[in-house]
């Protein structure tokens, strides 16, 4: 019918359209991405025979007017809402900048408003219980949002809404993963006390966030505040769980307070926090994850609590200004790359309970004039002291080499080795 579209014959599915498309009455479905990025298209009418509309179908289009034929049995545009709503689920599947969400809508589908840069304001009805993946992602004109009570989210729901400056959080919020990631307009957030979990990557890359209030007894997900480079000071809440990479690459952080109710710090939790010069870890902490402080190259001093049993892989890797560290007697294993390239380290004592030292654990620690390996060490992995120089000394209390001693452990190592030293 000279419709200015591509239609798959055997299924009557429109798979690609343009601003001049007129949907034939024979079309029964519109496929995923069919009109994505069609900025010249301002209006669409869904005919009575269309029974399926895919995801991301109209994302980034220039729609200002949406209408569904009243005879359509699957979809409607009730209350002249300028949206497409699935009748039997009351789910809004496609909206535009002029959409007014009816109170009867209980869900917003994946990508429903995605890339709708003209959207300035939206009121979410109280009956709404779910907002899907990337539903409002990259709606850069949206400046504030009031979230209704008892709502849950898919991933990336408001991702890259760079104009968003204000969020009203409800009680008992279920935060989805990457919910507000890339929202660079946010400067301050207060999360209600009733919230028990912040999802993975929720505020990832919110680079202008300078103030956060986090309630006690909360699970801070993996990468939740990663790359929030505007944060300068942080108070970890009581009884919080700190996930992997929770505050990684927060380069502006200069002060962190960890309460004595914290028992675990996740892997890479503070990696890349280059503004940190010192941090106090309370005695309550018994586990510090791998790479927890990797790349904190301005960190000069740290005390490891006495309950920690393992220096995990890469925990202090590339902490180039760390000069002195005391490993408590509780530690039994030093992991791979644990102190790799700690080029400023001048003093370290390996306690007598350590039985294993991982690959590259002390590689490139070029200011350590000497180190003593206690008799308790029975296994050493690859290249533990690689690239050590002739002015450095390794004292071994053992009379015999530990297992793995010959696994190229001394690649590029010119240090003097003393055996059976007491």
126-158 per-position pLDDT tens digit:
999 999 999 999 999 999 999 998 899 999 999
Can you give the pLDDT at residue 176? 81
CB 26 within 8 A of CB 45: no
Can you give the pLDDT at residue 412? 81
Can you give the pLDDT at residue 321? 95
CA distances from 220 to 24, 266, 328, 396, 421 (A): 51, 10, 28, 43, 47
The reported pTM is 0.91
Name, in order, each residue with C-beta under 8 angstroms of 327's C-beta and a sequence gap of 6 or more: 304, 311, 334, 348, 349, 350, 351, 354
Name, in order, each residue with C-beta under 8 angstroms of 422's C-beta and a sequence gap of 6 or more: 397
Say how far apart CA 133 and CA 82 lie, in whole Å: 21
380 CB burial (10 A radius; 0-12, 13-18, 19+):
buried
Can you give the pLDDT at residue 382? 87
Rg (CA), the chain: 29
CB 211 within 8 A of CB 234: no
Can you give the pLDDT at residue 410? 67
Can you give the pLDDT at residue 278? 87
User: What parts of the chain have a pLDDT lower than 50?
Assistant: none
Can you give the pLDDT at residue 172? 80
């Amino acid at each position: 019918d000279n419709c200015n579209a591509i239609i798959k014959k055997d299924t009557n599915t429109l798979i690609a359209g343009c601003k001049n498309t007129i949907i034939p009455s024979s079309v029964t479905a519109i496929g995923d991405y069919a009109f994505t990025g069609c900025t010249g298209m301002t209006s669409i009418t869904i005919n009575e025979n269309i029974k399926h509309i895919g995801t991301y179908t109209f994302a980034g289009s220039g729609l200002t007017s949406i209408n569904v034929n009243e005879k359509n049995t699957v979809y409607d545009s009730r209350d002249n809402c300028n949206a497409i709503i699935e009748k039997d689920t009351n789910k809004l599947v496609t909206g535009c900048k002029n959409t007014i969400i009816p109170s009867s809508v209980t869900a917003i589908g994946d990508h429903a408003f995605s890339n709708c840069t003209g959207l300035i304001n939206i009121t979410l009805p109280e009956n709404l219980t779910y907002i899907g993946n990337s539903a409002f992602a990259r709606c850069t004109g949206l400046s504030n949002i009031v979230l209704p009570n008892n709502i849950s989210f898919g991933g990336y729901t408001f991702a890259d809404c760079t104009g968003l400056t204000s969020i009203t959080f409800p009680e008992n919020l279920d935060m989805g993963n990457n919910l507000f990631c890339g929202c660079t307009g946010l400067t301050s957030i207060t999360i209600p006390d009733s919230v028990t979990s912040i999802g993975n990557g929720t505020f990832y890359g919110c680079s202008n966030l300078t103030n956060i209030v986090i309630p006690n007894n909360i699970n801070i997900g993996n990468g939740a505040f990663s790359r929030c480079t505007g944060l300068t000071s942080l108070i970890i809440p009581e009884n919080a769980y700190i996930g992997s990479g929770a505050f990684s690459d927060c380069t502006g952080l200069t002060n962190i307070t960890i309460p004595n109710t914290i028992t675990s710090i996740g892997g890479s939790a503070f990696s890349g926090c280059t503004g940190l010069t010192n941090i106090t870890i309370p005695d309550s902490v018994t586990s510090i994850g791998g790479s927890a402080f990797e790349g904190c190259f301005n960190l000069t001093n740290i005390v490891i609590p006495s309950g920690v049993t393992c220096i995990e892989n890469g925990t202090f890797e590339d902490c180039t200004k760390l000069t002195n560290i005391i490993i408590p007697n509780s530690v039994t294993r030093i992991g791979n790359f644990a102190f790799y390239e700690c080029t400023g380290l001048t003093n370290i004592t390996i306690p007598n309970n350590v039985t294993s030292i991982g690959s590259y654990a002390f590689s490139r620690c070029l200011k350590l004039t000497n180190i003593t390996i206690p008799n308790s060490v029975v296994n050493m992995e690859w290249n533990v002291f690689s690239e050590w120089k002739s002015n450095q000394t390794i004292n071994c209390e053992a009379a015999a080499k530990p297992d793995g001693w010959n696994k190229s452990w001394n690649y590029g190592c010119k240090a003097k080795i003393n055996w059976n030293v007491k």
